Structure 1
Amino acid sequence: MKRCVVGALATLLMTAGLITSAPPAAAGCVYGGNNLGKCDGPVQPDGTWQRCVAVAQWVPRGASSYLVPVKHCQVIGPGRPVTDLAFADPPTHIAD
């Protein structure tokens, strides 16, 4: 019985250590503002990256209308003009 308790405690402590040492889930993302969130993909060899912006879209359904998140993505970076202001801020890669 004692071995089971000690083993369970050791497993719990190891799991807690792995969880606390994991990188944050929001790395490369910002949430809030005028959008639901923005996330940047990895920087490519040419210096560009893909930025995805989630915005809320109104779906009318009579008395049960609701908002649905919609994802829009665009490749941005050096030499790539931003065509939509939702993608412009911040002007650099989010994880940097």
Structure 2
Amino acid sequence: MKRGIAGTAAVLLMAAGSMALAPPAGAGCHYGGQFISKCDGPIQPDGTWERCVGVTRWVPSGFSSHLVPVKHCALMGPGQHNSDLAFADPPTHIGG
């Protein structure tokens, strides 16, 4: 019984995490590889845009553990200096 509840909770958590990491409409995205997702928002009038990277975080939980999706965002574009490779590659806007 406990395993069924834990399994159901894990499935619901992953579904909620996927929705939380969903890109904004019209965003350009790359999926897979080192990250769950890497998505760019629309380019603003000043030439900047927001880039969000989805990664997983390991969470210990009693005698078990699970992965939880986590979203990190940063500003990209002219005048922005992101040395973190999670954000800097590619240095140009993803998509159209």
TM exceeding 0.5 = yes
Letter of the structure 2 residue corresponding to residue 31 of structure 1: Y
> Who is 2:77 aligned against?
77
- Equivalent runs, 1:1-96 vs 2, <5 Å: 28-96=28-96
Opposite residue 51 of structure 1, the aligned amino acid is R
Distance 1:26 1:73 in 2: 17
Give the TM-score normalised by the residue count of structure 1.
Answer: 0.68
Cα deviations by residue, 1:18-64 (Å, 9 ceiling, x for unpaired): xxxxxxx8850101121111010000000000000011000001332
Cα-Cα RMSD: 1.7
| Rounded Cα–Cα distance in structure 2 between residues aligned with 1:63 and 1:26 | 42
Which one has the bigger strand percentage?
2
Aligned partners of 2:78, 2:33: CA distance in 1, in Å?
25
Q: Which amino acid aligns with 2:78?
A: P
Where do 4+ consecutive residues of structure 1 move more than 6 Å?
none
| In 2, Cα distance between equivalents of 1:61 and 1:79 | 42
Where does residue 9 of structure 2 map in the other structure? none
Q: Percent identity?
A: 68
SS in 2 for 1:87: helix
The count of aligned residue pairs is 72
Q: Which structure has the bigger radius of gyration?
A: 1
Q: Is the 8 A contact 2:55 2:69 kept in 1?
A: yes
Letter paired with 1:66? H
* Rounded Cα–Cα distance in structure 1 between residues aligned with 2:61 and 2:87: 30
One-letter identity of the residue aligned with 1:67: L
Q: TM-score, normalised by structure 2?
A: 0.68
Cα distance change on mapping 1:85 and 1:57 into 2, 3 Å: same
CA distance in 2, matches of 1:41, 1:52: 8
